[in-house]
Amino acid sequence: MTNSRIIQIKTNEELEKYKDKLIELTKVCEPNDSFNPSLVEPFDIFWMLVHNSGDIVGYLKSQDLKQFEDNEYFELLGGIKGKKGLQIGGACNGMPDKYSNLATPLLNEIERYAKENNYDYIVLHAGTDREYLIGEGERQGLYIKNGYTKDRILKTGEGGFSDIDLWILYKFI
């Protein structure tokens, strides 16, 4: 999306300005979710795609996995001991009728950030039923098209993490 820019939000103070809009966008994507955006400083960043018209189109959230290394489920959830990792979550396009293809610029910007900050890998989770994200057929899903590789399925309830089966996907930097 060439008529847009990406904003990084690194503090809860900065996030306060955008909270209501992020909640509104999330309701479009996940109507049943109760979402209260927050950051664990300095580990988390919200990445927002903002159209030149001023519309906040969508967002992703990255988390430095260093904050979770001591969690007993670290590796189960996709962390790799001894490697510097970044997790992506919270993808949302809250204006699908008006804008499309927003995630690729966000994924590219996060990958650039990961390279510049010497991360070894990026991990993300995607529902096993979301072919538009993980499809490998003729029409590749968003994450596959952007170089992420399926590793394994995290079953419902494993590690107390999710109420659906999720693919764990990696991109090694």
| pLDDT reported for residue 171 | 97
| pLDDT reported for residue 28 | 73
| pLDDT reported for residue 67 | 96
Architecture category of domain 4-172 in CATH? 3-Layer(aba) Sandwich (3.40)
CA atoms within 13 A on the CB side of 109: 20
Q: How many CB atoms lie within 10 A of CB 53?
A: 10
SS3 category, 72? coil
Residue 151's pLDDT band, with cuts at 50, 70 and 90, is very high
The pTM for the full model equals 0.89
| Bridge partners, residue 122, by sequence | 86, 171
Residue ranges covered by each domain of the chain: 4-172
| pLDDT reported for residue 94 | 61
| pLDDT reported for residue 100 | 64
| pLDDT reported for residue 32 | 72
| pLDDT reported for residue 55 | 82
At residue 68, does pLDDT exceed 90? yes
> What is the Cα–Cα distance from 131 to 121, expressed in whole angstroms?
23
Read off the pLDDT of each residue in 98-126 and give the average, rounded to a whole number: 90
| pLDDT reported for residue 92 | 65
Whole-number Cα distances in Å, 7 to 43, 119, 137: 16, 20, 33
Q: What percent of the chain has pLDDT over 70?
A: 91
| pLDDT reported for residue 76 | 93
| Structure token digits, residue 73 | 């489920």
| pLDDT reported for residue 172 | 97
| pLDDT reported for residue 96 | 62
- pLDDT tens digits, 24-55: 877 777 777 777 889 999 999 999 988 888 88
